[in-house]
Amino acid sequence: MAEIICLIGTKGGSGKTTLSHMLCYGLGLLGRNAACVMTDICRQPPPHGALPYVFADGRTEQARAKIISALRARNDWIGVIDGGANRMETDSALYAESDLVLLPFRDSQEDLRVVCSDLARLPRAYALPSQWPTNPWQYKASLRLLESIPEEFRGRILAPVFSISSSKLLLQTQPAGEFPTPLNNTCRAVARYLLGVLENGASALPAAQTAIGASVRIQRVLATREAETYKQMDQARRP
C-alpha cells in the first residue's frame, strides 16, 4: 500500500509547491516511485509528461479521492500532496488521509506564528523550515527565530531545507532535460531525510534531529570557518 505525504498549512508563500516537487524528484533519484498531487485551484497543471515523475491533478475533491484511492492500491509508491493556503477544511481532510503531514514555513515572525497555530491544531504534523537562508548573517537571525519556538513544539520542527535558486527549474512549464548537480543533491537529501521522518511515525524527534539541533551544528561549522578566514586574513596582512 502506498504512503501519503501532504504539505499543507494556513500560510501562503511558505514553499509547499516547491518542496512537493523537490521531494518527488528526490524520491525518484533514490529509486522510489512517487506521484506529485496538485490541489491548489489557483495553479495550472504542467503539460503531460513534462516532469521527470508522475503528476496528478487533484484540484477537486472527487479527483483527489480517486487519486488517493489509486495510490493506496499500489505497493511501494509514495504520494506527495501539494496543498494550498487558507483552506482549513481541505487541510483537515488531507491531514486525516496522510501518513506524514508537513507544514512548511519561512524565516519570519508571521510564518512562525501561523505554523505554531497549525501545529497546535494538527498534533501529528511536523513543521518544516523552507527556503532557509544560507547567508551567514541571515542564518544567525534565523537560528534566533527557531530558538523562540515554544518548547512544546520543538520536537516537531524538522531540520531546515535551505534555499536553492535552481529549485525553480522544477516549476517551469517545460523543465530542463537535465537538472544541475546541486539541485539533484539537495532533492536527494531532502527525500532521504523525510523518509526517515516518515518511519518515525509522527513521534517527537530527538533534539539532535530537530531544526534547532541541526542549526546549532551548522552554526558551529560556520563559526569555525569564519575564525579560519579571519586567521588567514590576519596572516596575509603581516609583512
Helix axes 181-200, 16-29, angle to 10 degrees: 90
Pairwise CA distance, residues 24 & 34, whole Å: 6
CATH at residue 38? 3.40.50.300
Residue-number span of the structural domain to which 128 is assigned: 3-237
Q: How many domains does the chain have?
A: 1
Read off the pTM: 0.87
User: In 12-60, where does DSSP find H-type helix?
Assistant: 16-29
Could you read off the pLDDT tens digit of each residue along the chain, which spans 239 residues? Answer: 789 999 999 999 999 999 999 999 999 999 999 999 999 888 888 877 778 889 999 999 999 999 999 999 999 999 999 997 778 888 999 999 999 999 999 999 999 999 999 999 999 999 999 999 988 888 888 989 999 999 999 999 999 999 999 999 888 776 666 899 999 999 999 999 999 999 877 676 777 667 777 666 666 655 565 566 555 666 666 66
Q: Whose CA is closest to 24, among 69, 93, 90, 82?
A: 82
